[in-house]
Amino acid sequence: MREQIEYLEGGALAAVLTPDMPDRTLDYRVPEGGARVGAFVSVPLGPRRVKGVIWGPGAGDYDLSKIRQIGAILDVPPMSPLMREFVTRVADYTMTPLTAILRLATRVPGLGDPPGKRRIVRLTDQQPSRMTDARERVIAFLEEHRGMGFAPSELAALVGVTSSVVKGLEKQGVLRSEDAPRDAPFPRLDPDLPSKDLSNDQNNAATTLREAVRSRTYGTTLLKGVTGSGKTEVYLEAVAECLRAGRQALVLLPEIALTGAFMSRVEARFGAAPAEWHSGVTQAGRRRAWTGVAEGRVSLVVGARSALFLPFTDLGLIIVDEEHDGSYKQEEGVLYNARDMAVLRASLTKGQVVLASATPSLESWVNARAGKYARIDLTERFGAAVLPEMRAVDLRIDPLERDSWISEPLANAVQKRVEAGEQSLLFINRRGYAPLTLCRACGHQVGCDDCDARMVEHRFLNRLMCHQCGATKPIPTECPSCGNADHIAALGPGVERLAEEVERRFPDARMAVLSSDMTMSARALKQRIDEIAAGGADIVIGTQMVAKGHNFPLLTLVGVIDADLGLQGGELRAAERTFQLIRQVAGRAGRADKPGLAMIQTHQPEHPVIKAILGGDEEAFWRAEAAERQQAGVPPFGRMAGIIVSGPEERETFDLARALAARAGILTQAGAQLFGPAPAPVARIRGRTRVRLLVKAPKGLALQSLLSHWVRDVVPRPNYRIAIDIDPQSF
């Protein structure tokens, strides 16, 4: 696609946007020879030099003699008008300063630095004069990564020491410094290597997607296919077509732990590895990928949500895999939903979006029903594999014994699998040992000192932990409230406690626990998952993370320990989430030649959500959910924003929220509604009180401009904040 290029003459004024400044551009004089709008530049800012982007012509409406000159134009491809428009639109949509979005789009270390300026350090044979704990850790890390060089600042960050430790080791000759090697070129991906033989359904789906890609227009397709139906094989054919068309493609994945297995699959299809983009990629790797994408040398990126902000020159296709996944919504800093922003980006670049899921979000289901998205269904598993049988275990009929969470029917089914050499997965969506530490004498519940949350017992830490802020404290031996030492008890099951029961009941079985709070590196985690897939465990116990696309071919039984858990709390989204989660987990069973069984422990098998999970009419479930949302006027039928007011003092925080509420007239006159203030879903984090207001508006309303008009005149005092969350996840 040809884009218009805007030049600024030497001596003209340029408005430069830099991530190092609050939300405004600064004017600088363009050096001799001129510069392109969009160029990356280095400019003086006070005593510092910072990097930025020429955002447009300067205004020059003040003392021109004070204006400084752009220091240097960096050797980086300029940011395209389309990319600048994307950055602007995301900023407008999320009501975030432009500079914050620019930071997302330029988060590359050493951007534009000449190669000679980049250094790496390596380990030598020299011993330090004196060993300290920090030094030892640096050396151990480098020994573990033999042969690899790291930028000094990166090394310090990775090991968790200050950069002076690295400097010290360098001075003593323990580390040797050298110029960073030139970036290796990217191998070409070959879309014409033979693909797998697709089934009829897969073939039809692939043909439709290929045509869409060839159209070079914007469009979004919901690819809804049961787990194991071969969605990945299908969308890789769309990627192949995109590569054939000479355009770039992006595959977004929700869980970086999965990228390893996924990368091998992509490599097998195209004969070379694509570029990767996520927090586990080294600084050098990220710079190489970023530059490769900007120069159009990278044709395919596989990455986490932030890959959406890479400087693609001609993005023809974005795949959002497991599009329903909550982790696409960034909940800190810039609050954006990568799925929605992918649609925005593709509409700008005239590209296609494929949203793939076995359990789509209600939003996407509704958009497909309304004809905004195309929809393709894959209803059968690929090959001989059949969908698992879904069976409820009614806990009113088969009650649990005291301090036991596995019913007899489930225990028997596990036992059978163990004897047959097949795998079982027991799923519980609760980290830690026990969710509640309670004094049975006085009823006191041990909570976090800084948050409105109970402390969760973790046996492997031998401490209580707050899942909001991560604070820990010792497990009390007596009640902190009444002093009684005999009645303090851990109540309810967590993944660790379930593991304890499994050990007790199946002493001869090999057990593996997969929980997101087990401090494991991505690599170690991938290794563990590979071991399990190869048959290295008989019983796998896991939290939410096992729900996501792992492929365990020997797994024939899935037990959901507490299906009712997610249905409490009265949130409108609870049903959707529970359905997605349990369906995804159940989908792990029986992927290869053996049929699978999913057993769902519940106290309310007649609940509509549980019934839908058990294989009722799924479309009817979605229709009912949609009707309920429509009735309530909430997304996707209405618009919504959460306003989180936070601050150190509870009274003042509420006062600030009430000051906003007092101006509700601005909202109601425009046809919106205000709810609250009320304590936020997490009412206190890290000692800060959080109060939430919810704004609900009809679809056609320009919500963002209304909100900014509403909050504009309420200026919080220092240390108090008003944060706006467009399309909040929970309501």
Chain positions 183 to 222 lying near ligand ADP, rule: CB under 6 A, are 196-199, 202
Of Zn ion, ligand ADP, none, which one does residue 232 interact with (CB within 5 to 8 Å by kind)? ligand ADP
Residue 75 CA to residue 36 CA, distance in Å, equals 12
442 is in an annotated binding site: yes
230 binds ligand ADP (CB under 6 A): yes
The number of residues that bind Zn ion (CB under 5 A) is 7
Token pair of 549 as six digits = 């696309």
CB of 471 to Zn ion, least distance (A): 5
Distinct helix (H) and strand (E) counts, the chain: 20, 31
How is 8-36 classified by DSSP, letter by letter?
E-TTSEEEEE-TTSSSS-EEEEPPTT-EE
Phi-psi region of 386 (alpha: psi -120 to 50; beta: other; left: phi over 0): beta
Q: Which two tokens stand for residue 478?
A: 């007596």
Q: Is residue 723 within 8 Å of 661, Cβ to Cβ?
A: no
Nearer to ligand ADP, 227 or 429 (CB): 227
Q: Which is nearer to ligand ADP, 295 or 530 (CB)?
A: 530
Among 18, 99, 227, 352, binds ligand ADP (CB under 6 A): 227
Q: What token pair was written down for 145?
A: 């990564």
Site for ligand ADP contains 229 (CB under 6 A): yes
Beta strands 423-427; 555-560: pairing state: parallel
Helix, strand, coil fractions of the chain, as percent rounded to 5:
35, 25, 40
Which one of Zn ion, ligand ADP, none interacts with residue 229, CB within 5 to 8 A by kind?
A: ligand ADP
Question: Angle 338-349/81-94 helices, nearest 10 degrees?
Answer: 150
Single-letter amino acid code for the residue at 30: V
Smallest gap from Cβ 230 to ligand ADP, in A, equals: 3
Phi, psi of 353 (to 5 degrees): -120, 135
501/393 Cα distance (integer angstroms) = 18
Determine if 450 is a binding residue for Zn ion (CB under 5 A): yes
Give the residue carrying structure tokens 């977004």. 252
**Planar angle of CA 683, 687, 688, nearest 5 degrees:** 55
Stretch touching Zn ion by CB under 5 A, among 6-14, 165-173, 282-290, 470-478:
470-478
479 is in an annotated binding site: yes
- Of the candidate spans 147-155, 225-233, 424-432, 495-503, the one that interacts with ligand ADP by CB under 6 A turns out to be 225-233
Q: How far is CA 137 from the centre of its chain?
A: 30
Closer residue to ligand ADP in complex, CB, 201/457:
201
523 near ligand ADP, judged by CB under 6 A: no
Cis omega (within 30 of 0) on the bond before 636? yes
Q: Is 225 in the site for ligand ADP (CB under 6 A)?
A: yes
Tell me which of ligand ADP, Zn ion, none is bound by residue 231, counting a contact when its beta carbon lies within the kind-specific cut-off of 5 to 8 angstroms. ligand ADP
Q: How far apart are CA 621 and CA 628, in angstroms?
A: 11
Q: Is 20 in the site for Zn ion (CB under 5 A)?
A: no
Per-position x/- string for 4-43, each x denoting binding to ligand ADP as judged by CB under 6 A, each - no binding:
----------------------------------------
Nearest to 19 by CA among 47, 41, 46, 52: 52
Q: Which is nearer to ligand ADP, 152 or 230 (CB)?
A: 230
Q: Between 104 and 354, whose beta carbon lies closer to ligand ADP?
A: 354
At 194, which amino acid appears?
A: P
465 makes contact with Zn ion (CB under 5 A) = no
Size of the site for ligand ADP (CB under 6 A): 15
Residue 460 in tokens: 């492997």
Compare residues 258 and 362 and give the one whose CB is closer to ligand ADP.
258
Q: 27, 154, 201, 233: which one contacts ligand ADP (CB under 6 A)?
A: 233
Spatial distance between the Cα atoms of 688 and 684, rounded to a whole number of angstroms: 5
Cis preceding-peptide flag for 677 (omega within 30 of 0): yes
Q: Is the dihedral of CA 655, 656, 661, 665 positive or negative?
A: positive
Q: Report the alpha-carbon distance of residue 74 to residue 294 in Å, rounded.
A: 13
Which residues are within 8 A (CB) of 507 and not within 5 positions of it... i.e. 6 or more apart? none
Q: How far is the CB of 444 from Zn ion (least distance, A)?
A: 17
Q: Which residue has the tokens 């300029």?
A: 78
* Closest distance of CB 303 from ligand ADP, Å: 18
- Each residue 410-449 as x (binds Zn ion by CB under 5 A) or -, in order, gives --------------------------------------x-
Site for ligand ADP in 536-555 (CB under 6 A): 551
Q: x/- site string to ligand ADP, residues 354 to 383, per CB under 6 A?
A: ----------------------------x-
Closest distance of CB 577 from Zn ion, Å: 23
Binding status of residue 469 toward Zn ion by CB under 5 A:
yes
Distance CA 93, CA 372 (A): 20
Coil, strand or helix: which one is 718? coil
HEC letters along 332-354: CCCCCEHHHHHHHHHHHHCCEEE
Does 528 interact with ligand ADP (rule: CB under 6 A)? no
> Residue 227 Cβ, how far from ligand ADP at the closest point, in Å?
5
In the complex, minimum distance from the CB of residue 279 to Zn ion, in angstroms, rounded to a whole number: 24
The residues in 343-382 that bind Zn ion, with binding defined as CB under 5 A, are none
Q: Does 581 bind Zn ion (CB under 5 A)?
A: no
Using CA atoms, how far apart are residues 265 and 279, in angstroms rounded to an integer? 21
Closest listed residue to residue 674, CA positions, set 701, 689, 692: 692
Select 387 or 455, whichever has its Cβ closest to ligand ADP: 387
Nearer to ligand ADP, 225 or 647 (CB): 225
The verdict on whether residue 242 carries a ligand-binding annotation is no
* Minimum distance, C-beta of residue 380 to Zn ion, in the bound complex (Å): 46
- Our CB check for Zn ion shows the closer of 210 and 473 to be 473
Least distance from ligand ADP to the Cβ atom of residue 592, Å: 8
Q: Provide, rounded to whole angstroms, the least separation between the CB of residue 196 and ligand ADP.
A: 4
Q: How far apart are CA 539 and CA 524, in angstroms?
A: 19
Alpha-carbon Rg for the chain in angstroms: 28
Site for Zn ion contains 455 (CB under 5 A): no
Residue 448 binding result from Zn ion, ligand ADP, none, given CB thresholds of 5 to 8 Å by partner type = Zn ion
Give the start-end residues of each E strand in 581-708. 597-602, 638-647, 673-685, 688-698
Residue 169 or 465: the one with the smaller Cβ distance to Zn ion is: 465
> Does the footprint of ligand ADP cover residue 232 (CB under 6 A)?
yes
Q: Is 143 in the site for ligand ADP (CB under 6 A)?
A: no
Out of 212, 338, 471, 475, the residue judged to bind Zn ion by CB under 5 A: 471
CA distance 677 to 616: 39
Site for Zn ion contains 468 (CB under 5 A) = yes
CB 612 within 8 A of CB 619: no
Q: Which residues are annotated as a binding site for Zn(2+)?
A: 439, 442, 448, 451, 466, 469, 479, 482
Binding site for ligand ADP (CB under 6 A): 196-199, 202, 225, 227-233, 382, 551
Binding site for Zn ion (CB under 5 A): 448, 450-451, 466, 468-469, 471
